[in-house]
Amino acid sequence: MMKKRPVIGVTTQTLEAIPDQLPRCWVMSQRYVHVLSKSGAVPWVVPLLPEDMDTVRAIYEHLDGVFLPGGVDMDPSSYDEAKRPECGRTDLARDATEIQLLRWAMEDRKPVLAVCRGVQVMNVAAGGSLYQDLGTDVAGAIKHDYFPCGVRQRDHLAHDIRIERGTRLASLLGSESVTVNSMHHQGIKILAPGLVATAFASDGVVEGAEAVGDHFMVGVQWHPEDLTDADERMRRLFGAFIDASCDYRDVRVLSGV
């Protein structure tokens, strides 16, 4: 009998209204949904409802895992800083919804996989802060903002990262060094309590973080979903998340929760 597929929440982003054409919408790249589905999940696209957390909670209760995708910058108000000109477009509704989902998941030890913006949200939700712009804030920063343009695609391998031995990420990828794509200009500044840094770029910028202990809460600063076609290590990352979500669901069913 085929094993029941875990339900994975995928958060969205606000698309502002286009006058006389389109009302406000929630959107997210289909790539995340396709990769999660191919990895064995049932993706559930989650709306942003900070004014209706009862509904968000009801959705959360049906989830076996939480996936946080990339997107616009986090608003610095979420980590008690004033927004500077270097900070790009933000989405307060997304910040509030994702932070709450993460805090529930941390309380319940529900599996989390977070990519790019997602690992930044994970850090802020756990009590950390961000650099608003790496080029401005980090002396000697390498280029991290290899956004797709012209002939450059989202799977462009931009720079190497060093993975910390003994971490869950090192075990999953089976490598001490990986070349990754890179599409961000913000990054982890102060690492939150309860998290450990798992990977670094050559300039010292944190490229990965995970929960201390056995809670599967893994975040990476690159976009592994765009590398799964060519890199078995990235497929293992998604596969491990799906397995952890299955285990979480099975324990919950056995306990009658």
pLDDT at 6: 97
Q: How many angstroms separate the CA atoms of 9 and 149, rounded? A: 29
Hey, which residues are catalytic here?
A: 116, 223, 225
pLDDT at 2: 54
Q: For residue 186, is it left (φ>0), alpha (ψ between -120 and 50) or beta? A: beta
pLDDT digits (tens, 9 = 90+) for 81-137: 999 999 999 999 999 999 999 999 999 999 999 999 999 999 999 999 999 999 999
> Please, what are the domains in the chain?
7-136+156-255 (3.40.50.880)
pLDDT at 256: 67
pLDDT at 1: 45
pLDDT digits (tens, 9 = 90+) for 18-58: 998 999 999 999 999 999 999 999 999 999 999 999 999 99
Please give the structure tokens belonging to residue 182.
């890179």
Whether the predicted model's global pTM rises above the 0.85 cut: yes
Across 61-88, average pLDDT: 98
pLDDT digits (tens, 9 = 90+) for 205-250: 999 999 999 999 999 999 999 999 999 999 999 999 999 999 999 9
Q: Pick the closest to residue 46 from 59, 34, 37, 65 (CA basis).
A: 59
pLDDT at 57: 98
pLDDT at 255: 73
- Residue 140 pLDDT more than 90? yes
Q: For residue 125, is it left (φ>0), alpha (ψ between -120 and 50) or beta? A: alpha
Per-residue confidence band for 150, with pLDDT thresholds at 50, 70 and 90: confident
Q: Which residues lie across from 68 on neighbouring strands?
A: 114
pLDDT at 151: 83
Of all helices (H) and strands (E), which one includes residue 254?
Answer: helix 232-255
